[in-house]
Amino acid sequence: MDPFSTMIIEAVEKTKNAVVKIDVYKTIRGKLRPAGSGSGFIFSSDGLIFTNSHVVEGAEKIMITLLNENEVEAILIGKDPATDLAILKIFSHGYSVAKLGAATQLQIGQFVIAIGNPYGYQHTVTTGVVSALGRTLRTQSGRLVDNVIQTDAALNPGNSGGPIITLEGEVVGVNTAIINGAQGLSFSVAIDTAKEIADQLIKNGKVFRASLGISIQEVNVNPKVLRHYHLPNQKGLFVTAIEPDTPASRSQLEEGDIIISFNNKPVNSSHELFKELSKKEILTVTDMSVIRHAQLLNFTIVPKE
């Protein structure tokens, strides 16, 4: 067998026992009936599972099918529609735990593997490459999610909530969306953001988040500009859109600006910005620096919850 196929097989082998099928049930005409399915993966030894918020929305009963075909009921720990993430818990055995990696280490063009249950076909494996990093995506709830990974790995209904992994078998994202009618456009919430969300959901049952009202894309900043202004950055956040009636629209920020500092801290990635917006003390006048046409501009913005 060729070495490349061997690498894929080994990566899937490391993760497949952690991937689960999720079936949700709702009361329809007075009876509890199947009402959709999706994917998820176990990320802790005590049976905690990542999936998508939209997979379990309105569920009255959630059943988990493990790779060994054992079926157990799950409880919902918490969900965050804004990032389309949810945490479930099972009390069972016979599974392994997925190893979580770091999406910050990903490179555009890097090979990735998606595992899930499209249309109920359990443990389907598809492959692709990272097409873009640090995207902003509008979820089914209409909210904007930052730090999204775009790949061309084939995803279909039922893949939602499953992992996207590297050739080392490390989870770098939670598969969340496809664009209907488009081919080769699949999106995953970066595992770094997912870990932050999980931490808040497990501790508090809900997520605190401040908003700026912008769509962003991670980009490289011109090295000459970085040297000229003695900036510590390697990357910045390109503002692709500003939502009306938001903190960004009421500030001096403009579409096309590259954010390089927020709250007096350099920002190289969507995740770094997200971490700052997860602090409750951020709901005040906050400093921001941007590059606009090779000029360094400093101004303030007031994030809102």
Span 130-159, pLDDT tens digits:
998 877 776 666 666 777 898 988 877 777
Distances (CA, A) of 95 to 16, 18, 37, 47, 181: 9, 6, 20, 9, 36
93 is catalytic: no
Tokens 């905690």 sit at which residue? 48
Question: Nearest Cα to 113, choosing from 150, 85, 84, 154?
Answer: 154
Quote the CA–CA distance of 126 and 279 in Å, as a whole number: 37
The CATH class of the 214-301 domain is mainly beta
CB 115 within 8 A of CB 124: yes
6, burial (CB in 10 Å: exposed 0-12, middle 13-18, buried 19+): exposed
Quote the CA–CA distance of 92 and 47 in Å, as a whole number: 7
230 is catalytic: no
pTM: 0.76
The contacts of residue 211 (CB under 8 Å, 6+ apart) are 246, 247, 277, 303, 304, 305
**Would you write out the chain's pLDDT as a tens digit for each of its 305 residues?**
788 889 989 999 999 889 999 999 998 888 888 888 889 999 999 999 999 988 898 888 999 988 777 889 999 999 988 788 999 999 987 788 999 998 888 999 999 999 987 666 667 888 999 998 877 776 666 666 777 898 988 877 777 899 999 999 999 999 986 665 556 678 898 998 899 889 888 887 777 788 898 888 888 888 998 899 898 988 899 998 898 999 999 999 999 999 999 999 999 888 788 888 877 788 888 899 999 998 999 998 888 88
- Give the active site residue among 37, 39, 131, 160: 160
Start-end ranges of CATH 2.40.10.120 in the chain? Answer: 1-203
Q: Show the tokens assigned to 148.
A: 């999204």
| pLDDT, position 235 | 87
CA torsion angle 273 274 280 283 (round to 10): 50
149, burial (CB in 10 Å: exposed 0-12, middle 13-18, buried 19+): buried
| pLDDT, position 180 | 58
Phi and psi at residue 120, to the nearest 5°:
85, 0
- Give the active site residue among 84, 146, 192, 257: 84
CB 172 within 8 A of CB 111: no
Quote the CA–CA distance of 229 and 143 in Å, as a whole number: 35
Start-end ranges of CATH 2.30.42.10 in the chain? Answer: 214-301
CB 101 within 8 A of CB 114: no
**What are the tens digits of pLDDT across the range 254-281?**
999 999 999 999 998 887 888 888 777 8
- Give the active site residue among 39, 53, 54, 186: 54
| pLDDT, position 4 | 83
Q: Show the tokens assigned to 46.
A: 């005590």
Q: Show the tokens assigned to 294.
A: 């090779």
Phi-psi group of 32: left, alpha or beta (phi > 0 → left; psi -120 to 50 → alpha; rest → beta)? beta
Quote the CA–CA distance of 195 and 201 in Å, as a whole number: 10
Quote the CA–CA distance of 81 and 83 in Å, as a whole number: 5
Under CATH, which number does the domain 1-203 receive? 2.40.10.120
